Amino acid sequence: MNPTNELLSYPIGHAQLPDGPLAPAERTALIQQIAELPTQVTATAKAVGGEGLERPYRPGGWSGRQVIHHLADSHMNCYFRFRLALTEANPTVRPYEEQAWAELPDVAATPITVSLTLLEALHTRWVTLLHHLSEEQWQRTFYHPGTKRDFTLDQALAMYAWHGNHHLAHLKLLLPQETA
C-alpha cells in the first residue's frame, strides 16, 4: 500500500492491543472513548451533510453512509462477543464478511439516523456493562477463528475503542475542507 493510501486507510494508525491486563485508568479512558463515540459520529455526520456521506472517504473505500452503518453492525457484534465471553468459557465467536454487509440493500435504503440511534442505545448499554466488570471478568476470553487467536476483554476493549476512533477519522476525511 502506498503511503497516501495507508494514511487514508489508517488515519490514526493501526490498533495496538495490550499484552497483559490494562490498568484501571487505561480501562476508564477506553470506556470513555466508547461512551463518547455516538455523539462524535452524529456531530461529524451532521457536519459532513447528506451528499458528503454518499462519497467514499478514500478511492475504493466505503461511503460515509457505509461507515456509519458498519459502526453499528460491528459494535453490535462486539457487544455480543463481550456477553458471550462473560457467560461461556472461551466461546468461539462468529466472524462476518464486513464488505458484504456494507453492500447489503438496507445500507443504501436505511437513513443513517437509524444506525446513529442504534449506536447511541447500544453504547449506553455496553458502557453500563463495562463499568460493572470485575478485574477477573476483564481477563475472560473469546476465540476469533478469523484471526485464529484468543482475545481478552481488555484487548477487545482496546480494539473497539480504536475501531470507533478509526472510523470517526474516516468520516472526518469527508468534512468540507474549511471545517476539517
118 touches 72 (CB < 8 A): yes
3-class secondary structure, 143: strand
CA–CA–CA angle 58, 55, 156 (5° rounding): 60
Enter the pTM of the model.
Answer: 0.95
Q: Which residues contact 72 (CB under 8 A, 6 or more apart)?
A: 115, 116, 118, 119, 122
Please give the single-letter amino acid code of residue 47: A
Q: Which fold has domain 24-172?
A: Four Helix Bundle (Hemerythrin (Met), subunit A) (1.20.120)
Local confidence pLDDT in tens for the 180 residues of the chain: 667 788 899 999 999 999 999 999 999 999 999 999 999 999 999 999 999 999 999 999 999 999 999 999 999 999 999 999 999 999 999 999 999 999 999 999 999 999 999 999 999 999 999 999 999 999 999 999 999 999 999 999 999 999 999 999 999 999 988 655
